[in-house]
């Protein structure tokens, strides 16, 4: 069974109603005093969680959401084009790879919105540059903070909410880089601890036990960060070691099972960022079988996570968005793969999503030098998530421009 927190959400509500809103009810069920909690408790009471999945490498959208009813697709891909008999039809125009049974269930259950033609002006074909544009939400700008980091700063300007941002990776993504929040970044929960020499252990423990009021604000801040990190590391390890689930996360789990463990432990995190790493979707050569396997792992893993959220009673609280930094060119190449392109599909998944197709479907014949012409600026998705899911009305300030949200959420009951 999943770990049970020491206090239920109803217990926490009763404590706040009784005047104990100066207590921070920490993620794994512990309680610690905080003079700032009363200032942010009401503003931060939502249970909504945003999970972002990064499919690194540039996923081939045309062999993911397959336009089998369009002859131009097969004309451009005589070898790589997936024939109707070899795919999963989801309607009379589109289908998924045969390996994408997890996505099939989500789509046919009405829990997946497919946003077509997602891209941006003056696209970069560099993995590094294009991913940086997606992660900052600011193409060609040199923005230093990530879009999720800026969102965290806007929702909680003083950075009081503990562990607002978690990045499951072996290094921090630019997407969660913030001015007032320090993201929690880890890969293996069992090894999530500060590395030090044995002789340093007592000194570091003394630093963690220090009190405030040294008269040096900068030093106090750094010590607070160190102590918070030490506590968070232990909470992550405890959550992971206590977590078990009957849900099968697939043949190659790549991170969402760790998110599930923290959600089961009632972490206060609002945003999780999880990449499918190592440029896996960069399929220049002999794409067919590797791409099908990638989507078997991806589809099964995401579907399992959503199933686990239902099991935990959190299905209504979770929205997941999956994207890749660019799509691939429409024609196949001479190596039976595809090369860096422009627009591609993004996926928005969860019970709150009104399933179906969104955004204009790009033409496969009216191309820009062999590339799709994008129809949906990716920042419209960000605006949708900021305002429609996270409930913040300053999306235009976070994104430095106005981007019309996509009407993808179900009406409130």
Per-residue model confidence as pLDDT tens digits over 316-346: 999 999 999 999 999 999 999 999 999 999 9
Query: Sorting pLDDT into bands at 50, 70 and 90, what band is 39?
Result: very low
Backbone φ and ψ of 328, nearest 5°: -120, 165
- C-alpha to C-alpha distance for 62 and 81, rounded to whole angstroms: 9
Q: Let me know if 30 is exposed, middle or buried by CB neighbors in 10 A (0-12, 13-18, 19+).
A: middle
- C-alpha to C-alpha distance for 141 and 127, rounded to whole angstroms: 16
| Residue owning tokens 């179906």 | 356
Residue 282 has pLDDT above 90, yes or no: yes
φ/ψ region of 391 (left if φ > 0, alpha if ψ in -120 to 50, else beta) reads left
- C-alpha to C-alpha distance for 252 and 250, rounded to whole angstroms: 6
pLDDT the model gives residue 374:
98
* Residue 128: CB atoms within 10 Å: 9
Residue bearing the bigger pLDDT, 95 or 224: 95
pLDDT tens per residue across span 183-192: 999 999 998 8
Query: Sorting pLDDT into bands at 50, 70 and 90, what band is 377?
Result: very high
The stretch 130-145 carries a mean pLDDT of 96
Burial 221-242 (b: 16+ CB within 10 A, else e): eebeeeeebbbbbebbbbbbee
Nearest Cα to 75, choosing from 330, 259, 343? 330
* Residue 281: CB atoms within 10 Å: 24
- C-alpha to C-alpha distance for 98 and 63, rounded to whole angstroms: 11
Range with the poorest average pLDDT among 81-95, 212-226, 341-355, 360-374: 212-226
pTM of the model: 0.84
Residue 193 has pLDDT above 80, yes or no: no
pLDDT the model gives residue 329:
98
Per the CB < 8 A criterion, the answer to whether 21 and 38 are in contact is: yes
Distance of CA 50 to the CA centre of its chain: 7
**Token pair of 98, please?**
């045969």
Strands (E) located in 66-179:
87-89, 95-97, 112-119, 165-168
């Amino acid at each position: 069974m999943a770990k049970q927190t020491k206090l239920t959400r109803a217990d926490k509500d009763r404590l706040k109603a009784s005047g104990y809103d100066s207590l921070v009810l920490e993620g794994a069920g512990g309680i610690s005093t905080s003079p700032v909690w009363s200032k942010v408790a009401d503003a931060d009471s939502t249970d909504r969680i945003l999970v972002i999945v990064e499919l690194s490498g540039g996923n081939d959208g045309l062999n993911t959401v397959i336009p089998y009813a369009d002859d131009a697709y097969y004309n451009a891909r005589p070898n790589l084009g997936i024939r109707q008999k070899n795919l999963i039809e989801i309607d009379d125009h589109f289908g998924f790879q045969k390996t994408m049974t997890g996505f099939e269930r989500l789509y046919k259950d009405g829990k997946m919105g497919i946003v077509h033609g997602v891209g941006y002006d003056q696209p970069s074909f560099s993995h590094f540059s294009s991913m940086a544009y997606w992660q900052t939400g600011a193409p060609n700008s040199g923005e230093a903070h990530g879009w999720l980091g800026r969102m965290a700063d806007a929702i909680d300007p003083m950075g009081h909410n503990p562990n607002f941002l978690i990045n499951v990776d072996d290094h921090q993504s630019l997407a969660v880089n913030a001015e007032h929040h320090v993201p929690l970044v880890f890969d293996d929960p069992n090894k999530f601890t500060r590395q030090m020499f044995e002789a340093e252990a007592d000194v570091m423990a003394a630093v963690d036990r220090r009190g405030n009021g040294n008269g040096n604000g900068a030093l106090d801040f750094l010590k607070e960060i160190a102590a918070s990190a030490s506590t968070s590391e232990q909470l992550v390890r405890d959550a992971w070691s206590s977590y078990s689930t009957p849900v099968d996360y697939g043949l190659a789990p790549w991170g969402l099972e760790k998110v599930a463990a923290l959600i089961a432990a009632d972490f206060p995190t609002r945003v999780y960022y999880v990449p499918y790493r190592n440029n896996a979707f960069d399929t220049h050569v002999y794409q067919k079988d590797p791409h099908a396997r990638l989507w078997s792992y991806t589809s099964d893993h995401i579907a399992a996570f959503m199933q686990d959220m239902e099991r935990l009673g959190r299905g209504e609280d979770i929205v997941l968005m999956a994207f890749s930094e660019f799509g691939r060119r429409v024609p196949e190449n001479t190596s039976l793969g595809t090369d860096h392109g422009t627009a591609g599909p993004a996926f928005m998944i969860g019970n709150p999503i009104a399933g179906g197709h969104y955004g204009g479907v790009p033409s496969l014949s009216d191309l820009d030098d062999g590339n799709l012409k994008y129809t949906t600026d990716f920042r419209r998705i960000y605006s949708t998530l900021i305002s429609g899911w996270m409930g913040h009305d300053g999306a235009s300030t976070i994104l430095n421009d106005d981007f019309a949200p996509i009407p993808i959420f179900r009406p409130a009951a």
